[in-house]
Every structure is written in C-alpha cells, then in structure tokens.
Amino acid sequence: MNLKFDQGSGQKLTAQVHYQDLGNHHALIQAIRHLLPAIGTSSIVIVCIGTDRSTGDALGPLVGSYLERRHLPDASIYGTLEKPVHAMNLQETLALITATHKNPFIIGIDACLGKQKNIGKINIAEGPVLPGAGVKKELVPVGDMNITGVVNISGFMEYSVLQNTRLHIVMSLSQVIGQCLSVALLSNRKGRLLSKLLLMD
C-alpha cells in the first residue's frame, strides 16, 4: 500500500486513467509500453504487492493471480492470492529475484490511497512503487516502473480505511490493470517477433 502520487514524490506520472473510462484504457497500455525496456535487454519481472487479509490491500495479489492465469510469455509473476508478497516477505522476494533473474526490469504493482476525486484511477509512472507508505511503514522501494490503483481516501485511520474498502472497486481496478498490462506485454512481444521476421528478409 502506498501513498505516492498525492504526496508529491517527484516521480514522473505518465498516465492516470479511471478504470471506468474505457475509451482511454489505450493510454495506460501506451504508457506501459513506453516505459518497458528495449526488447531483449532485460527480463520482465512483475511484483504485485499486498495481502488478501485486507480488502483494500488485495489489489496487488488480485492482479498477480490474473496475470498468472494468462501465462504471459517472457514475464515472471511474484505476488498472487495464493502466494502474496507483503511486508513480511518483501526483502526475501527481492533477493530471490536478484538471484534468479539476469538484469531484471521490475514492474511494481500496489494499491494506494489518495484524494476523493482520484478514487478508481490507475496510475502509471516511471520509478519504484513505495510499499507501506500509505500506512506509515518504511519498506524498500520496488520497481523500475510502477502501476498503482487508488482504492480509497487517505489521511485518516488508514488501516481501518483499507479494511472497509469495497471489494467491487478493488476487483474492477485489478481487472483493468491486468488486462492493460497483458496487452502491453503481448503487443510488445509481437513487435519483437515482427522485428525478427523483418531482419530475416
């Protein structure tokens, strides 16, 4: 859980779209593709942060489970409903990623709290996600780019707010994030295959 965008972290926000704004989901896909590394230079690792023990903080694991079912090629998923990545095992997970993947490009995914007007918005930004900031925890930053969904309002009794967040909005956000990220990665891979075919001609 992070509180990055409403606290002026200085990171460059490349896209912010409400999950119900179907006509602009393409902007999320384009933003993700824009931030992905050059084809073939890094392995893609997606770290979905959160816990299924809190409705508001279940966004990450829901996205992770969605992506795992898609069996995306050339992408490794950490953090699902079955095996969540949270404060207690985050350092261990990052150490495993470092040991397992050569030159990984990490996409950090997390829920966040924000202003009332931003609830339901999906944010794409370069740089790491800041897990724990929303509930005043200091955890290691995660990712070369990050995707966050604003699940509820910030500023008062954050733990209680997370526990009382509507499951509907968290599920809806997770589905849109999962779909957009899947399309971005698959279209990026198709671009790589097309490039190979052109080089063979």
- Position 5 in a domain: no
Domain hosting 131: range is 42-112+124-137+150-192
**What are the two backbone dihedrals, phi and then psi, of residue 29, each rounded to the nearest 5 degrees?**
-65, -45
- State pLDDT tens for residues 136-149: 566 789 999 999 99
10-14, 24-28, 99-103, 134-138, range with the lowest pLDDT: 134-138
- Contact call for residues 122 and 176 (beta carbons, < 8 A): yes
- Position 53 in a domain: yes
> Which one, of 139, 141, 133, lies nearest residue 158 by Cα?
133
- Position 56 in a domain: yes
- Contact call for residues 114 and 153 (beta carbons, < 8 A): yes
- Position 145 in a domain: no
- Position 19 in a domain: no
Whether residue 38 is predicted with pLDDT greater than 60 in this model: the reply is yes
- Position 15 in a domain: no
Query: Between vectors from CA 190 to CA 188 and to CA 194, what angle results, nearest 5°?
Result: 120
- Position 18 in a domain: no
Round to whole Å and give the CA distance between 119 and 5: 12
What number is the average pLDDT over the span 32-54? 91
- Contact call for residues 129 and 48 (beta carbons, < 8 A): no
- Position 128 in a domain: yes
| Global pTM value | 0.87
- Count: domains in the chain: 1
> Would you call 58 helix, strand, or coil by DSSP?
helix
